[in-house]
Amino acid sequence: MDKRPVMTTEKVDTLYDAKYIRLYDLRYEEGKHYFDATRRPVEQIVAVKSDEEFQKMLPDAVTIAVIVRLPGEEPKLLMNYEYRYPVGQFLLSPIAGLIDPEDAAESEPLKAAAVREIFEETGIRMGKDDTITVLNPCAFSSPGMTDESNAFLAADVTLSDLSELSQTNCVGTELFNGFEFLTKSQAAEIFRSGRDRFGNTFSIATWVVLSYFAFVYEA
């Protein structure tokens, strides 16, 4: 039996509304409140969606396992060091970013967003023989606190060299501090230890991408 509380926009109070973050009070029952930190306007928050809308919804962002093939070398996972403001550190991070309205209008929004983010964060333009695959269409980051979600994808890219790599196309507040190329064995070591080569920890998205490349990906 479905005993879920019914949530409608009429039961949602806006506590904070800024350009990049909002906080809502979800009044599930009289005197009972649950808070939702989200990027979405009230009419698009996940809690008010019907079952059909929920199943078809686009996530907020894409996270991509970018696997680079160079001549004579084994495939390597391309990561970057991105400054994460709430943590105050450059963290080992996968290529990732929000889905733009222009991406959502494409026939394959997740792939369109991934291709754009790969170029913005690495300078790499996907070639006609390169492939991109959706691994997970929508995974929630922390559903006890937020409805934020990510799609996970894998991009298999062949390059003749690394001359086109660049971190100068980033937008907004994005700040990067170099790339990291990992073999499968290196990715597995970092996955198991939970720390990068500097001894620092990282996000759950990094852990997921490492696990895919180290244990699932087949060259």
So where are the chain's domains?
Answer: 9-49, 61-215
CATH no., domain 61-215: 3.90.79.10
* Digit-coded pLDDT (tens) for 37-60: 999 999 999 999 999 999 999 999
| Residue 73 to residue 113: CA distance in whole angstroms | 28
* Digit-coded pLDDT (tens) for 186-199: 999 999 999 999 99
* Orientation angle between helical segments 204-215 and 184-193, nearest 10 degrees: 140
Four-residue CA torsion sign, 118, 104, 127, 151: positive
